[in-house]
Amino acid sequence: MSERLEDIAARIVADGKGILAADESTGTIKKRLDSIGIEATEETRRDYREMLFSAEEAMRNYISGVILFDETIRQKAKDGTPLVDLIRRSGAVPGIKVDKGAKPLAGFPDEKITEGLDGLRERLNEYYELGARFSKWRAVIAISGSLPSWGAVKQNAQALARYAALCQEAGIVPIVEPEVVMDGAPGDHSINRCYEVTEWVLNTVFHELYDARVALEGMVLKPNMVIDGKDARKASREEVAEKTVRCLKATVPSAVPGIAFLSGGQSDEEATAHLSIMNATYDMPWALTFSYGRALQAPALKAWGGKSENVAAGQRAFAHRAKMNGLATRGDWKEELEKAA
């Protein structure tokens, strides 16, 4: 009997754990490897991800699921073990990124639409066979004084809903990711403008999910935090936490089992601090956790540096960030724990 969607979703947002987003496209992972002076080949990409997935302490204790890229879900570790099995062995759930990226939206200057719905049903069935039990689709919403437009919000919300319905049909939990991008141009919007846009986007997304008959108990939301633009004044951590929770309470039905934030545009420590303050300060109807890529991996990438003799150092750096974020899901993170490391 296949596992119920609600049970998979509950595992993904398990207490004290969160999601490792290791679904960087070939272009993005190349930039990451370039930054440590390593050439991006199929082998180096595999070695890097194998280092993360075999980091026992981090994976077993703090990681509930891993989002993979198409290449990675098919790869085997050096010893021939499928990477999917490494993930499963640690108790985490393998997931897959299924969108084909955000492309310019015709007729809407400076706005994007995410592609990848064509042939998605067949791809999901294949990914299920390969071991994926959840998936991810990211919509990119530009923000400025005049953006987003209603047309862009509506079309992205509809695409997210169609994707989510197809996932549930295939026995896969959809992670629904509408990201209001804080580091897009011009990047000088206030936190109040971000609140306004995020509230509008989330309301529209949940209307579309309802119309598409998506079971809310069998999905996870991956939103941005309510934060000011990269070139605006910095709101305090407490203000980010307060506005984010207020926005979510106004838009996200309590039937959704969990919300896993993306870290977009925040430093590693900021992303952890904001999450911890929310969990320590507010009562919420859903689990509040993380789905971080760079904010979990950056220190590990640096410590590893592409050298096999540094694998243990890379894994220690990964375990530290994973532990800090695990504590944040319970509201127990403190700044001095960073310094102790």
Whether the per-residue pLDDT at 49 is higher than 90: the answer is yes
Say which DSSP state 256 is in.
Answer: S
Tell me the average pLDDT across 96-103.
Answer: 98
| Cα end-to-end span (Å), the chain | 44
Q: What is the CATH number of the domain that holds 172?
A: 3.20.20.70
For residue 287 the two structure tokens come to 């689990």
pLDDT of residue 268: 86
Q: pLDDT of 134-158, one tens digit each?
A: 999 999 999 999 999 999 999 999 9
Quick check: is 39 catalytic? Answer: no
The domain of 210 spans 5-340
pLDDT of residue 193: 96
pLDDT of residue 340: 63
| Alpha-carbon separation of residue 94 from 29, 86, 307, 312, 323 (angstroms) | 19, 9, 26, 23, 20
Which of the pair, 19 or 188, is modelled with greater confidence?
Answer: 19
CA 35 to CA 81: how far, in whole Å?
28
Whether the per-residue pLDDT at 40 is higher than 90: the answer is yes
CA 122 to CA 33: how far, in whole Å?
32
Whether the per-residue pLDDT at 316 is higher than 70: the answer is yes
Q: Tell me the Cα Rg of the chain.
A: 19
| Beta bridge partner(s), residue 221 | 176, 259
In the chain, the amino acid numbered 92 is A
Quick check: is 136 catalytic? Answer: no
Highest mean pLDDT among 31-40, 179-188, 225-234: 31-40
CA 74 to CA 76: how far, in whole Å?
7
Considering 24, 50, 111, 177, which one is annotated as catalytic?
177
pLDDT of residue 89: 97
User: How big is the chain, counted in residues?
Assistant: 341
CA 172 to CA 166: how far, in whole Å?
9
Considering 17, 97, 112, 222, which one is annotated as catalytic?
222
CA 48 to CA 335: how far, in whole Å?
28
Number of domain units in the chain: 1
pLDDT of residue 27: 93
Whether the per-residue pLDDT at 100 is higher than 90: the answer is yes
Q: pLDDT of 217-251, one tens digit each?
A: 999 999 999 999 888 878 999 999 999 999 999 99
pLDDT of residue 273: 96
Tell me the average pLDDT across 306-322.
Answer: 96
Q: pLDDT of 107-143, one tens digit each?
A: 999 999 999 999 999 999 999 999 999 999 999 999 9
Burial class (CB in 10 A: 0-12, 13-18, 19+), 44: middle
Tell me the average pLDDT across 328-333.
Answer: 97
| Rounded percentage of the chain residues whose pLDDT exceeds 70 | 99
Q: pLDDT of 54-93, one tens digit each?
A: 999 999 999 999 999 999 999 999 999 999 999 999 999 9
Q: 292 phi and psi, to 5 degrees? A: -105, 145
Helix (H) / strand (E) containing 205: helix 191-211
